[in-house]
A and B are shown apart, each in its own frame.
Chain A
Amino acid sequence: MISRTTDDYEVMRAGGVAAVIEPAFWLGQPRTTVGAFKDYFSMIVGWERFRAAQFGVRHYCAIGLNAKEANNEPLADEVMELLPLYAAKEGVVAIGEIGYDDMTPAEDKYYRLQLELAKELDMLVLIHTPHRNKKEGTSRSMDACDDMGLAPDRVIVDHNNEETVREVLDRGYWAAFTIYPFTKMGNERMVEIVREYGPERIFIDSAADWGVSDPLAVPKTARLMAERGIPEDAIRAVTYDNALAAYGQSGQFSEKDWLEPAPIDQRDLYGGNSVLRGGQAPVVQEKGLIIE
C-alpha cells in the first residue's frame, strides 16, 4: 500500500475493504543498503498502518526478504539479522513474501533460512511463487516447507493459477490467488477456478503495489462471481472467511479488530469510531469542487 494514494484507501473503504495485509516485497528496483530495508520494514509496521487507519482500513503486514533481493548475498545476510527485530511486532501475520524468483542457490538458501525462522518463532509463512517456471517453483516451494517440517495449513501459497492450484490443494496448503492484470490472474479466470475447485482453502487477494494493479480487485471479483452464479457462501469464503481462517492462526488478525473496535483508544487514536460496523452500508462521499 505504500505506493497508493489516499484516494485508493477511500475507494477501498467504500468498496467494503475492512482490512489489508501488506506483504514485504521489493520496490521495483533493488535496495543497496540494509538501512533501506530497515526503513521499509519500519514503514509497513508503522506509518502505513497509521495512514490506513485514517481511512478506517485496518493494516497488517508480513515481514521477510523477497526472493529477488536474496540474490545480493552480503546484503541478504544483513537483512536476515534485521528480521527478528520486526517479525514479532504487532500485526505481523506471517513471514513473507518469501520463496523463489529465478530459483538460484542464493534464493534457496535465504528462503530456507526464513522458513527456519518462521518455525523458531512459530509463525505462518506466505510464499511468493515465481512468474517464470511457476509450476516447478511452486512444487519446490512446498517441498522445502515439507523438508522443514512446517504444517501445510500454516503456509499460504500465493499467486496461484490454473496449473498450480490442484497440487497446492492436494498437499494441504492454502491456495491464494492474486488478481493482477496481464501477468498473474484475471478475475474471469478466477470465477471459473472457484466454480471448478469450490471454495475450500482458496482465497483471492488484490495486488495494490507500484505496478498496474487494482486495489479493488477483491470486491470486483466478488461481484463478478455473483453475476456468474457462484453461490453467496462460496463468494464469502474465498473473499473473506478463508483469509481470516488462514492468517487468523497468527493470533494477530481477527474479525473483532474491525467488527468490534475497542472504544476509541486515546493512546492509538486510530479511527476506531469511523470503522464500518457489521451490517452498516458503506458510504461513498462524493467530493465537490471545493478544497478546504
Chain B
Amino acid sequence: MRPRPRPVDLPGVRKQLVAWIARQASEDALRWLQDRCAEIAGGAPVAKCFLAFSGAPRRIPKDTLALDETDLARASALRPGWNPANWSVDEAARALLVLSRPADDENAWIRMAEQLFSTADARESAALYRMLPLYPFPERFRARAAEGIRSNMASVFQAVAHRNPYPSEHFDEGAWNQMILKALFTGSVLHKIIGLDARSNPTLARMLVDYARERWAAGRAVSPELWRPVGPFAAERHLPDLRRVLRAGDEAEQEAATLALAQANAPAAGELLGAFPRLKQRIDAGELTWESFSRNRIEGMA
C-alpha cells in the first residue's frame, strides 16, 4: 500500500540544516552560505542560486554529516521518513540553498528545480534526488524521480532508492517495481529501500522470480534479498524455485528462502518449510528475521 505523502516543516528543516552544517564547516564558509541563502530568500536572480549551488563544495566540506540518533529523530520529526544518515555536509548546504528559494510561485519554483536537475553533474544529481522528500510541491517531481531510477550511475540511482521516503509515497506500482528490479540488476541492496515490504505486490513477485530464473540460466548468482519482496506473494508455482534455493543455495540464500516461505500464503509453503526444521526454528524463535538477515548477511558482506 502506498503511504500518504507527509508534510514538511520547511523553516524547521532549514534551521536544522544550518545547525548541522555549522558543526563541520568553517566560520567563513558558513557565513558565505548564509549570505547566499539570504540573497536567494530575498528573491535574487535565479542565476545566483545556480552559481552558489554548483560552487558549494568549493567551500563546504564533502565529509559525511556527523549525525547521532537524536539528530536522526529530529529529522524524522521535521519530515516523517526523512533520513539524512548518509548525507554529506555539502549536500546539506545544497539542500539549504535550494530550499531557501521562496515557494510562493509554484511554476517558477519548479522551473528552477528542473534547470538544476537538467544541468546537474553526478554529485549534484545525487544531492537533488536525496532532497526529494523536502521539496515543496512534491507531486510535481514524480517523473523526475522516475528518471533518477533510470540512471546508470549507482550513486544517482541510490540517492532516489535508498533511505528516501519519496518513492514509496509517490511511485505507482510500475515505477516501484522497476526500481526494485533495477536495484537488483545494478547490485544495490534492497533493505535500504523505504517501504520495501509495504509496497510489495504480486506483479513484482512474478517479475523477481522470472529474473532469478534468467540469472540461473546464465549461470549468474542471485542476490538472496530478491526473495524478500517475493515472500508474501509466493504462489504455488514459485515453490520449485524456492526449493531450488533451499537445496542448492549457500547459507545466506537458504536463510532468505526460508524467511520468504514463512511469509508465503501458498498451502504447500508450510510443508516445504517443515523440511528445514533447523532454519524454521530460528525464525519461530525470532532469531532469524529480515532485519537480522540484512545486518548479518548483507551489510556484514559489504
B-binding residues in A (CB < 8 A): 38, 41-42, 45-47, 49-50, 82, 84-91, 251-252, 266-269
Is the pair B126, A85 in contact by a Cβ cutoff of 8 Å?
Answer: no
Bound complex: CA A213 to CA B154 (Å): 31
Q: Which of B114-148 contact A (CB under 8 A)?
A: 115, 118-126
Indicate whether A269 sits within 8 Å of B119 (C-beta atoms), given known contacts A46-B125, A90-B57.
no
Out of A85, A89, A91, A267, name the residue touching B155 (CB < 8 Å).
A267
Indicate whether A88 sits within 8 Å of B119 (C-beta atoms), given known contacts A267-B86, A267-B126.
no
Out of A84, A252, A267, name the residue touching B51 (CB < 8 Å).
A84
A-binding residues in B (CB < 8 A): 47, 50-51, 54-55, 57-58, 86, 88, 91, 115, 118-126, 152-155, 158-159
Indicate whether A251 sits within 8 Å of B155 (C-beta atoms), given known contacts A46-B122, A49-B122, A86-B119.
no
A90 to chain B, nearest CB (A): 5
Given contacts A46-B125, A49-B121, A88-B54, 17 further A-B contacts (CB under 8 A): A42-B119, A42-B121, A45-B121, A46-B121, A46-B122, A46-B153, A47-B152, A50-B122, A84-B50, A85-B119, A86-B54, A88-B51, A89-B54, A90-B121, A91-B121, A268-B155, A269-B155
Q: Which residues of B contact A268 (CB under 8 A)?
A: 122-123, 126, 155
Indicate whether A46 sits within 8 Å of B120 (C-beta atoms), given known contacts A84-B47, A267-B86.
yes
B83 to chain A, nearest CB (A): 14
Bound complex: CA A123 to CA B87 (Å): 29
Indicate whether A42 sits within 8 Å of B57 (C-beta atoms), given known contacts A50-B153, A85-B50.
no
Q: Which residues of B contact A269 (CB under 8 A)?
A: 153-155, 158
Q: Which residues of A contact B126 (CB under 8 A)?
A: 267-268
Chain A, residue nearest B121 (CB): A45
Where chain B touches its partner, the secondary structure class is helix
Bound complex: CA A46 to CA B57 (Å): 16
Chain B, residue nearest A91 (CB): B121
Per CB-CB distance, the 3 closest pairs between chain A and chain B, nearest first, are: A45-B121, A88-B54, A88-B55
User: Among the interface residues A41, A45, A84, A90, which one has the most CB atoms of the partner chain B within 10 A?
Assistant: A90
Q: Which residues of B contact A252 (CB under 8 A)?
A: 58
Q: Which residues of A contact B125 (CB under 8 A)?
A: 46
Is the pair A88, B121 in contact by a Cβ cutoff of 8 Å?
Answer: no
Chain A, residue nearest B50 (CB): A85
15 residue pairs of the A-B complex, CB under 8 angstroms, read A38-B119, A42-B121, A49-B122, A82-B119, A88-B55, A88-B58, A89-B54, A90-B57, A90-B121, A267-B88, A267-B126, A267-B155, A267-B159, A268-B122, A269-B153
Out of B51, B91, B123, B155, name the residue touching A90 (CB < 8 Å).
B123
User: Among the interface residues B88, B123, B124, B154, which one has the most CB atoms of the partner chain A within 10 A?
Assistant: B123
Q: Which residues of B contact A251 (CB under 8 A)?
A: 58
Q: Which residues of A contact B54 (CB under 8 A)?
A: 85-90
B6 to chain A, nearest CB (A): 24
Q: Which residues of A contact B124 (CB under 8 A)?
A: 89
Chain A, residue nearest B116 (CB): A85
B46 to chain A, nearest CB (A): 10
A223 to chain B, nearest CB (A): 34
Is the pair A89, B121 in contact by a Cβ cutoff of 8 Å?
Answer: yes
Is the pair B123, A267 in contact by a Cβ cutoff of 8 Å?
Answer: yes
A59 to chain B, nearest CB (A): 11
Indicate whether A47 sits within 8 Å of B153 (C-beta atoms), given known contacts A42-B118, A266-B86, A267-B86.
yes
Bound complex: CA A88 to CA B123 (Å): 13
Bound complex: CA A47 to CA B150 (Å): 13
B218 to chain A, nearest CB (A): 9
Q: Which residues of A contact B154 (CB under 8 A)?
A: 269
Q: Which residues of B contact A90 (CB under 8 A)?
A: 54, 57-58, 121, 123
B133 to chain A, nearest CB (A): 17
User: Among the interface residues B115, B153, B154, which one has the most CB atoms of the partner chain A within 10 A?
Assistant: B153
B24 to chain A, nearest CB (A): 15
Bound complex: CA A47 to CA B159 (Å): 16
Is the pair A42, B88 in contact by a Cβ cutoff of 8 Å?
Answer: no
Chain A, residue nearest B57 (CB): A90
Bound complex: CA A251 to CA B55 (Å): 12
A190 to chain B, nearest CB (A): 33
B45 to chain A, nearest CB (A): 11
User: Among the interface residues B54, B88, B115, B125, which one has the most CB atoms of the partner chain A within 10 A?
Assistant: B54
B56 to chain A, nearest CB (A): 9
B152 to chain A, nearest CB (A): 8
Q: Which residues of B contact A47 (CB under 8 A)?
A: 122, 152-153
Q: Which residues of B contact A50 (CB under 8 A)?
A: 122, 153
A122 to chain B, nearest CB (A): 10
